[in-house]
Amino acid sequence: MTNAAEFRTCPITGKKVFKTTQNLMWINAVTAVVFILIGGIMALLVALTRWPAVHLLPADLFYRFLTAHGLNMLIFWIVFFEIAGLYFGSSVLLNVRLATPKLAWLAYLLMLVGAVMVDIMVFTGRADVMFTSYVPLMAHPLYYLGIILFAVGALIGCGIFFATWAIARAEKTYEGSVPLVTFGLTAAAIIAVFTLSAGAIIYIPTFLWSLGIIKNLDAAMYRLIFWGLGHSSQQINVTAMVSIWYLLGALTVGAKPVNEKICRTAFVLYILFINLASEHHLLTDPTLSSAHKIANTSYFMYLAVLASMIHALAIPMALEVAQRKNGYTKGLFEWFTKAPWGQPGFPALIFSLFIFGFIGGITGVAYGTEQLAIKSHNTWAMTGHFHGTVVGGTTLAFMGLTYYVIPLIFRRELIGKKLATIQPYIFGIGIVLMSLGMGAAGTLGSPRRHWDVTFAVSIIPFSFDPTVILFTTVAAIGAMLAVTGGAIYVLVSVLSVFFGRKMAANEAKII
Amino acid sequence: MKKEEDRISGWQIFYDDLSLLFLLGMVIPAVIYLLWGVMEYANAPTAVIAP
Amino acid sequence: MAEEKHDSFPAPGTFVIGMVFFTLFVLFYFLNWKWLSMIWIVG
C-alpha cells in the first residue's frame, strides 16, 4: 500500500510528484489510451463505410459503430485523460499530496465499470441510439446506468481536484495565485460540474423511462437538458486543451504569457459563459423563442468566443516572444520556422492551435449563428466542425502532452521517438483533409449520420452533385491518415509506458 | 513602490475566489440556458390534432 | 507574476497570423450568409 506522503522530486521542475498521484495519473491515462484505440478502430470502419468506393459496413453495423465511436472518443478517451490532467494540475503543479486517494481509486473504478457497461450494451446491439441517445430512441437500461456511473466517477474526480486545491491553499504549498495551467484546469473542472449535473438531471429520468417507471419523456425537453451535458462536455475539452497549450508552450520553447491577467480573464469568461453555447444544438428546434436562441448563442456565447480569441492570440504571442528571446529575430517568422519542429510537442501544439482555431473555431462560431444554423444543421459540415475542434484541437494537444508525461511523470524513456515526432504531422494533416472534406461535402448538402449518401438502395432515388462524392473521398483519405496517426500514438504510448527504459531518479531528460 | 507591489487588485481577489467562480459558473448557465429553456417548453401550448 | 515590458509590439508575426485569421473569419461568414440567401428567398 503506497504511503500517501511518499513522493519524489522532479529533477527538471523541482516539483514534488507523490506516488499516489503518479499511480492515479498512470491508470487514468493508460485507460484513456485503451479507449482511443477502440474509438479509433470504430473510426476506421465508419470512414470506410462513408467512403462510397468502399462502403464497408451494412447499415445496422454502421450506426452501431458510429455510436461506439462517438462514446469512446468524445467521452471515455477524453475524460479519462482529463482526470489524469486534473490530478497533475492540482497535486503536481501545487506541490501537494492528492486529497483522498482511496476516493480517487473509487472514482476510477466507477468510470471504468460505467464505460465497460456502455460498450457492452452498444456492441451487443442493445443501444443503437448514437452518442446523443435522443428519446424516443430507447436503449437498454444498463446503457443509461453505465453513463450515470461514469459521470458519478468523473464528478468525484473533479471533487478531488477541488479538495486538493483547498489542501494546497491551507498548507500554503504555493505562493500568490495558482499557476495559469492549474487555473485553466480549475475552469475546466467547474464547467465539468455543471456538465455532469445536467447529465444527472437528464439521464436519471431516461434510465427510469427505459425501465418503464416513467411513461413519457418529452423529446424537446430531453434535447435541452441533454445538450447541457453534451456540449458542455466539449467545453471542458476546450478549456483543458487551452491549459495544455500553455503547458506545451512552456515545455517546448519556454513560453510565458505576455500578460497573464488577460489570460486568466479569458478563463473566467469561459467559466461564466461558455456553457451557454449548448443552445446552438437547438437553433433549428421549434418552440424555443428567438430570444432564447439569440441571447444564448449570439450574445452571451460571444463573450466566450472573445475568450477564445484572447487565448488564440496570447499563446502564439508567448511562443514568438520566447523564440525572439532565444535569438530568432530575423524577419516576421524566423521564430516560427526555426522552432523545435523535430520534437513531438511543438508540432502537436501548432497543429492543435491552428486546426482548432482556423477550422473548428471559424466554422463553429459561424454555424452557431441563429440564422446560419439552418443551412448547416444535420449536414456533414457539422461533423467537419467538431472534428476540427475536438480531434484536431483537443485530442492532438493531449497526444503531444503524452510524449512529455511519459518521461516526466511516468519516468520511462520514449520508445519510437522518430515515430512520435512524425505522428502529429500525420494525424494533423489527416484531420485537416478530413475536416475540410466533410465541411465542403456538407455545405453541398451531404448529410451526417448517414450510411449511404449515394442512396443506391433508397426507394426514392437521389443523387448529389459529383463534387459531393469528390469531397467525401477527400475526407475518407484524410480519415485514413488520421487513423494511421492515431495508431502510431497508441503504439508509441503503450510501448513506452510498459517497455520504455526506466529513468534514474535524477535523470533530467525530457525527450 | 513597495505598497503598490503588496496591494492585491480586486480582480485577483475575484479570480482567486474558487467558491465565487464555482457559484457563478453554475448559476449563470443554469438560469440563462436551462431554466429559461424549461420555462419556455413548459409554457408552450400543446398541439391539438384535428379530428 | 512579472510581466514583459516592450518598447514596440513584441510579436509582429503573431499580428500577421491574427489578421489572416480575421480575414478568413470574415470571408467564411460572408460566404455562408450569401449561400443562405441563395437557398432561402425572403419576400
Query: Hey, are the CB atoms on A313 and C3 less than 8 Å from each other?
Result: no
Query: Hey, are the CB atoms on C13 and A372 less than 8 Å from each other?
Result: no
A175: closest chain B residue by CA: B16
Give the pLDDT of residue B1. Answer: 46
CB atoms within 10 A of CB A138: 16
What pTM, to 2 d.p., does this model score?
0.94
Give the pLDDT of residue B39. Answer: 95
How far is it, in rounded angstroms, from Cα A410 to Cα A36? 20
Buried b (16+ CB within 10 A) or exposed e, A430-444: bbbbbbbbbbbbbbb
Give the pLDDT of residue B46. Answer: 83
Is the confidence metric ipTM above 0.85 for this complex? Answer: yes
Q: Which residues of A touch C29 (CB under 8 A)?
A: 366, 369
Q: Give the closest of B29, B40, B44 to A276, CB-based.
A: B29
Q: How far is C-alpha A25 from the chain's CA centre?
A: 17
How far is it, in rounded angstroms, from Cα A308 to Cα A360? 12
Can you give the residue ranges of every domain in chain B? 2-43
Query: Hey, are the CB atoms on A272 and B25 less than 8 Å from each other?
Result: yes
A229: closest chain B residue by CA: B34
Q: Is A96 left (phi over 0), alpha (psi -120 to 50) or beta?
A: beta
Query: Hey, are the CB atoms on A336 and C21 less than 8 Å from each other?
Result: no
Chains B+C touching (3+ CB pairs under 8 Å) = no
Give the pLDDT of residue A48. Answer: 97
How far is it, in rounded angstroms, from Cα A430 to Cα A477? 8
Q: A279, A292 in Cβ contact below 8 A?
A: yes
Q: Model confidence over A184-224: pLDDT tens digits?
A: 999 999 999 999 999 988 999 999 999 999 999 999 999 99
Taking a contact as any Cβ pair under 8 Å apart, which residues of chain A between 230 and 269 contact chain C?
256, 258-261
A218: closest chain B residue by CA: B41
Q: Give the closest of C13, C24, C33 to A320, CB-based.
A: C13
Q: Is A254 left (phi over 0), alpha (psi -120 to 50) or beta?
A: left
For chain C, say whether A357 makes contact (Cβ under 8 Å): yes
Q: Which of A364, A226, A369 is nearest to A290 (CA)?
A: A369
What are the CA-CA distances from residue A382 to residues A276, A317, A360, A452 (Å)?
18, 30, 10, 17
How far is it, in rounded angstroms, from Cα A227 to Cα A368? 14
How far is it, in rounded angstroms, from Cα A134 to Cα A147? 14
Lookup result for grid cell 509590439: C9
Q: Which residues of A touch C17 (CB under 8 A)?
A: 316
Lookup result for grid cell 462502403: A55
Number of A to B CB contacts under 8 A, please give it.
Answer: 83
Q: What are phi and psi of A459, to 5 degrees?
A: -65, -40
Q: Kindly report the nearest CA distance between residue A262 and chain B, in angstroms.
A: 11
Query: Hey, are the CB atoms on A320 and C40 less than 8 Å from each other?
Result: no
Reading chain A (511 residues) residue by residue, the pLDDT tens digits are: 556 678 988 888 888 899 999 999 999 999 999 999 999 999 999 999 999 999 999 999 999 999 999 999 999 999 999 999 999 999 999 999 999 999 999 999 999 999 999 999 999 999 999 999 999 999 999 999 999 999 999 999 999 999 999 999 999 999 889 999 999 999 999 999 999 999 988 999 999 999 999 999 999 999 999 999 999 999 999 999 999 999 999 999 999 999 999 999 999 999 999 999 999 999 989 889 999 999 998 889 899 999 999 999 999 999 999 999 999 999 999 999 999 999 999 999 999 999 999 999 999 999 988 889 989 999 999 999 999 999 999 999 999 999 999 999 999 999 999 999 999 999 999 999 999 999 999 999 999 999 999 998 889 989 999 999 999 999 999 999 999 999 999 999 999 999 999 998 888 777 7
For chain A, say whether B11 makes contact (Cβ under 8 Å): yes
Q: Give the closest of A176, A324, A372 to C32, CB-based.
A: A372
Residues 6+ positions from A341 with CB-CB distance below 8 Å? A347
Q: Model confidence over B1-46: pLDDT tens digits?
A: 445 556 778 888 899 999 999 999 999 999 999 999 999 999 988 8
Q: Which residues of A touch B29 (CB under 8 A)?
A: 194, 228, 232, 273, 275-276, 278
How far is it, in rounded angstroms, from Cα C39 to Cα A258? 46
How far is it, in rounded angstroms, from Cα A22 to Cα A405? 10
The helix (H) or strand (E) run that includes residue A7 is strand A7-9
- The count of C-alpha atoms lying within 13 angstroms of the C-alpha of A174, restricted to the half-sphere facing its C-beta, is 25
Give the pLDDT of residue B4. Answer: 52
Q: Angle CA(A349)–CA(A353)–CA(A354) in degrees, nearest 5? A: 120
Give the pLDDT of residue A3. Answer: 63
| CATH topology (fold) of A344-511 | Cytochrome C Oxidase; Chain A (1.20.210)
For chain A, say whether C26 makes contact (Cβ under 8 Å): no
